[in-house]
Structure formats: structure tokens, C-alpha cells
Structure 1
């Protein structure tokens, strides 16, 4: 069953083609699996081999090209007819003699499209240097342009159905974070807490299940909370240990990230002070969200709060997010940071993560929100504070 109506997919394609026209592009080769999903519904763990969605400016349907054994997945999950699902043979897979982009070149030549202007997603994770070299070699009469993020910018404003999916993801995030808080205690292994988080993420709620998130749970502990992107170990939590937990609920590939900092026992005065500053700045930023404000203006609201408290932060405060596949749930478009003058519009969605990472400690407390007509709406409802897990020693 399709995750969206065919009319919504076609509307997305029209918007993409308008961007192609504005850029002087005849053909767009989409290799980002999130963009492939956005335009067709294609959903399979097949992005470890090369696959591409060919958008021809003057044809109604795109063409899906992928491994032969994945063609059935395209039939099951997309709105494309059989004539627009074109598989390549398995002898192209991880071969030193031929490459899937050779197949794409032959297909475009056969359709007499080899002399047109072609845009490729140069900075997409799954578009390799080898892909580009084979395309240039195989289509010497074509003109190539960088089409990075062309579809991503169409994705930045969500439909009501997309927002509904993200709200479900938010409910899953709430459950997963509560599971983490309930399981954390002195003597418990980090890996066991993450196993509980993963179960909560995938089992979802009684009314709807969850999906695998684009990023695994992040769980640095102790002094390692100064490093925001560590995962977990088999070590056991100790009394006084802080832990940063960053996770996301995911529903039909749509994400709602959430981060909290949890302390077993009593937090240090320094950690409590930093956490209070983060929450103050986060609250101020959320209060400032409204259509018409720019990303950099929103970041400045946060910056003013923390700098008056003697804290500086160089990294961005947040980013647009939603539909995605590993290794990232961010959309790679708007960032909440100085210099980004993207204007917020209703139904844009962001992960606001104003973390502070110092030499030997860190604090993360984040919220995901959508921009409304007058302000913002949170995607999850969870205590916005430094969370303290009381430890009771048994006699």
C-alpha cells in the first residue's frame, strides 16, 4: 500500500521539475534513497547497491533503475507502472568489469537522451566518485550539473499527511526516551539500555508500530558526554554518571528526534547550571519561532541567552529534518546558524538541539517542532530538564 496518494507524489514531482526547469536541467538522476522515497514511495534496504531514479523533464513518470532482485520491491512500494521499473542484471553488482551507471548510460542512449543536460546529486551519501566517472565516460555528449539538494528543498515544507506521520514518530520517541530513563541505573550495562530503546522504537505503540531510525541511539556517558556522537559500550553505569541520550522515533521513514541528559544520583553544580542555561535558551528559541523569521534570527535568540550566562557555542543550533534513511535524519537544507537566511514557513520541521559540549562534560536537551501559522508545535511531549534518576541503595 502506498504511504501517500498518487496525486501527492505527482505534486511533488511537478515541484521538482520546476526546480529542474529553473536550473536548465533536462534530466535529474536521484540517488539519495530519501528523495527516491519522497518522489515514488520506494522503500527497501537496497541502497547498499547502486540504484537511481531518472526524472525526465518531459515524461510523467520517473524511471526506477536498480538491482534485478529489488524490482519487486519497486512494484510493491511505488506508484510507477511496470514500464518504468527497469532492473539491471546481477553481473553489474560490485563488479570490477562493469558498473550500474554503465547500464544507466546505455538506457539514456537508447532513449536518445545522451546529449541533454543532466543533474546528479553530487553530495548524496550513496552517489560515489565512481558513479560520476562512469556517467561522464559513458555520456561524453551530455552536459553535467550539480543537482545536490534539488529534491531536498522541495521536501522542506511538509504536507499534512507527512506531519501526521511525524507526530506518530514523536509519540514513539516519547516511549523510547521513557524506556531509557526507566532502565538506567547503577550496575546496568549501556548496551542493555540501548536494546530497550531499540525495542521501544520498533514496537511503537499499540495503535501503530515503529520503523528503524536513520541514526542509532547515541549514548555517551561520564566525561565522554563532551563527545556528542559516541554510541554505547558494554560498560555499566556508575553512581553520579551523566548520560546523553539522543534518539528518534520513526514512522514510515519520518523522524522525530529527541535528546535528554540523565544523571544517576546527584548532578554536579556545573552540570545543573549548564542544563538550566540550555533550557532557558531552548525555551526562548521556541517562543520566538514563527513564520517569517529566518534561521539565523532564531539562532541569535538562543545565542543571546547563553552568552549572557557566560557560555559560547560554535556549532549550529538545529536543522531541518523529517524523511530519511541511514546515516542521517537531517534533510541537508536549512540550518539554525549565523548566515542561514532561510525563512521559516508553516509545516517546516526542525530538530532544535542546542547542546553544549565542554572539555569534560556535555549537556543535550532537544525538541523537534513544526512551524505553525503563528508559532510552533512540538512533536513530542517529554520533561524539558536535566533528568535525575534517584538511586536507592539496598541495605
Structure 2
């Protein structure tokens, strides 16, 4: 067992067993896992190597097998609970090869070696790093296998967090607080957006006296001025000007577990309209959090938010939130449950969500968000940071 793995081997074995249960329900003999977050969840694997083809092969009668680039095999040995016999690697001439070689050729050989080349194999067809060419190559190399889409199979296993996972998310919450405080302390008239971003990163990664942070799956988002109605802008080197609204969305990250948080600032006194909208968002956020408890559905929670803001003549078309936890670029969401109309998933204790009630107009936007876990009787927000409209 690697000293770098954040959990004992028993935790990973439990996750693999739960994954196998879902595989049986789906009629799958094997599963090829390529989502970096799912790889990490099942084995502990952690390395910035997802830009090349890699994955974990899960079967019913073998321990999982990590497969990846030869220079990354040591990372697998260092960070996973797997023994060295279950770490397989291809040579570097498979990487972006000008010849007719592809890493999926090697993966197909591994699948055959464990005796699953003529069985049912699930793959994550909508995972970010599983390309169309990779899928075609793998299926071409396994003509007798029954290959089918199993994109979210592991993601749904991840939905329920153990107590140990929650502790890392609480650590991530402390990092989010540090990063957001850096934003509040730094942003002001005449300050460059890039300098504010640097300060935020310093807080997120420098962390606390007890622990530091990791790079988050999404960069700090910081739309400002006329562009706060565009929620996914990052930053430039422009200077903040008097009257600028600024939205800061970030996440602390600890052992790849995230705690996202968004707050809104105003460089100088905000307009009356912006202050009013911020109050609507704050009230609606708390109303929705108060509605959370085991047994309610995701859409019911969103319905409380929609009813709350409708009393003030406000509407929001986009979803209110989503499940979150382990994450790698480009996203910290789990891609399973969303707090929105039509999602009838029943909330259960141990689920974790980022509730991000944002209201965006052409002139300005307001975001005030919380990451929470579902407890036995409600919602526990993981971070502790004022929900004020900050005037800086």
C-alpha cells in the first residue's frame, strides 16, 4: 500500500466491490475506466498524465489493473493501492505515434491477457479523455468483445461519500475560505485581475498551517465589470475600475476532493439594483438549503429556490446545483444529480452538492454559493464564509 494514497486499501476495495455490483446489474463482465476522477476514486491514482491515454480495467475475478504510459507507471506504484503486478505500461513509441501504433492496441492486449477479449466490456464514451479514435481503435482490436457505453457507472457509485471523504471535503472548504479571503483582501480599484488571481491561487494552494491545497479542476473564475453576466470568464490583466461588479468562483482541493464556493464583490458601492438582487439570492439560497433533507428530490429543492425568487419577480433558467466531490480538469462536478426541474433523484445522507444560485443580467451578475452534504436531518454547509455582497 502506497504511503501517498489518502485512504487505506480497504476503502478502495469497498469502492471496487460497489462498482462490481453495478457492473453485474448492467450485465458487464469488465469495465474500462478512463475518467481521471474515477481512476482516482477506484485506485488512488494521482498524476498529471491524463493528456495521454490511460485507464483502469475492472473485472469480477481480478484485482483492477492500471494501464498507462511507461513513464507514469511509477506514479501508479506510488499512489495506488495496487501491487506492481497490476500496473501495466506501454512504451513511449505508442504516444502520439507517427506510425500505426495507438495505446488502445496495448490496452486490448491487456484485456486479452486477463481473458476478457470475448466478453462484455463497458467503456466511458462521454469521458473527456476517451477520444473517438481511442474508442474506434479499441473496438477494432477487440472484435469478439461486446463493447457498450457505461459512462456514468462509477460516477453514481461516487455519489455517496464516506466519513473519510467528507473530512477531505471539509479540508477543501478551509482552503476555499483561504482563497476567497485572498480575493476579498486583494481586489480593488486599480488592481489587475491577474494579480487578484495570483493571490487567490496563493490562498488555495498555500493553504493553512495544517495542510496545503492542490490545483482545482477549474481555474478561479472572475468575470468583472460589464462581463459579470458571463459566468465562466477567468481573468485578464485589466485593472478593476470603480463601480465594477466582480464574481469570484473557486474551489479548495484536498486529495482531489473539492469544495466550490462563489461570492460577489463590488468595487465601490454597488447599484441599488445589484444590492437588491444579491439579497434575493441570499434569501433564496437559504430557503433552498432549508429544504434539503433525506427523502426530498433534487427537483423539489430547486422548486423551493424558484418559488423564493419568483416572489421578487426573478427567474433563473439554469440548474441550481450539482453533485460534486473528486475532480480533475476540466470539471469538479460528478455529472450525476442536478438540482433542477425533471431530476427526481431522491437525496440521501452522504451526498454532496454545490448549490450555486446565480442571477445574470447584461449589466451585472450575482453568484453566492455553498457546497453542502446531506445529513440525517438537513444540509451541512462545509465552508463558513460570509454571504455578503462585499464592497472593496
TM bracket, shorter-chain basis: over 0.9
TM-score, structure 2 length as denominator? 0.98
Deviations 1:308-340 (A, max 9, x none): 211111100000001111110000000000010
| Residue matched to 2:81 | 79
SS at match of 1:329: strand
Deviations 1:173-218 (A, max 9, x none): 1111011001111100000000000011111100111111000000
Deviations 1:213-251 (A, max 9, x none): 000000000110000000001000111111000001111
1:45 aligns with 2:41: no
Deviations 1:322-374 (A, max 9, x none): 11111100000000000101111111110000101112211100011111111
SS at match of 1:228: coil
1:293 to partner: Cα distance: 0.7
| Residue matched to 1:292 | 295
Gaps of 5+ in 2: none
| Residue matched to 1:93 | 95
| Residue matched to 1:393 | none
TM-score, structure 1 length as denominator? 0.97
SS at match of 1:132: helix
1:328 aligns with 2:331: yes
Distance in 2 separating the partners of 1:112 and 1:53: 16
SS at match of 2:328: coil
Which of 375, 379, 383 in structure 2 is aligned with 1:376?
379
Which of 339, 362, 367 in structure 1 is aligned with 2:365?
362
1:14 aligns with 2:37: no
Distance in 2 separating the partners of 1:278 and 1:164: 28
Distance in 2 separating the partners of 1:329 and 1:105: 30
1:252 aligns with 2:255: yes
1:103 aligns with 2:118: no
- RMSD of equivalent CA atoms: 0.8
1:109 to partner: Cα distance: 2.4
1:196 aligns with 2:199: yes
After superposition, residues 226-241 of structure 1 pair within 5 angstroms as 226-241=229-244
1:343 aligns with 2:334: no
1:53 to partner: Cα distance: 0.3
1:307 to partner: Cα distance: 1.2
Distance in 2 separating the partners of 1:126 and 1:360: 36
| Residue matched to 1:147 | 150
1:28 aligns with 2:31: yes
After superposition, residues 125-274 of structure 1 pair within 5 angstroms as 125-274=128-277
Which of 61, 64, 68 in structure 2 is aligned with 1:62?
64
Gaps of 5+ in 1: 390-395
Distance in 1 separating the partners of 2:295 and 2:179: 33
1:82 to partner: Cα distance: 1.1
1:106 to partner: Cα distance: 1.8
SS at match of 2:331: coil
| Residue matched to 1:392 | none
SS at match of 2:228: helix
1:107 to partner: Cα distance: 2.0
Deviations 1:14-47 (A, max 9, x none): 0000000000000100000110010100000000
Distance in 2 separating the partners of 1:286 and 1:139: 48
Distance in 2 separating the partners of 1:164 and 1:112: 39
Distance in 2 separating the partners of 1:222 and 1:288: 34
Distance in 1 separating the partners of 2:170 and 2:13: 24
